[in-house]
Amino acid sequence: MITVLQRTSEASVQINNHTVGQIGLGLMILIGIEEADNQEDIDWLVRKISNLRIFNDENGVMNLSLLDVDGDVLLISQFTLHASTKKGNRPSYIKAAKPETAVPLYERFIEQLEGVLNKTIQTGEFGADMKVALVNDGPVTITLDSKNKQ
């Protein structure tokens, strides 16, 4: 699994001109799931995301986690994170998981992160055409790849 974390002061997602998810302070997370992903990937990412110290403390130092600031999450599925651009000019998405594999993993990821944060996560809709808006606070943008933990 690949994630792109963006620290936000606000973020939202629309489908067919209707807002389906919206947050204030927290993280907007793009998640790409590949065929080889499993529960171990979910466990590692949930632990890392919830404890990553990327929010400012009272001294303006990134020393607080999502848990510390009681931040919200907007989670957006994005298979294009697994784009291969090595050959030609048209990306290949062969590594991206098919919906029958990706959807159950996506749903487990949501459930597990909600359990750790003890709050509901805002989401888009898996596979939908979405319009995502955010104010990237900082800006802070971090990628995490569960296949590259080192």
**Active-site residue numbers?**
78-80
The phi and psi torsions of 59 (rounded to 5 degrees) equal -100, 5
> How far apart (Å, rounded) are the C-alpha atoms in residues 142 and 106?
20
Separation between Cα atoms, residue 139 and residue 9, nearest integer Å: 10
Place of tokens 């979910």: 42
Structural tokens at position 149: 């933990």
Cα dihedral 46, 48, 53, 54 sign:
negative
Alpha helices in the chain (DSSP H): 39-51, 99-117
Sequence-separated (6 or more) residues with CB below 8 Å from residue 59? none
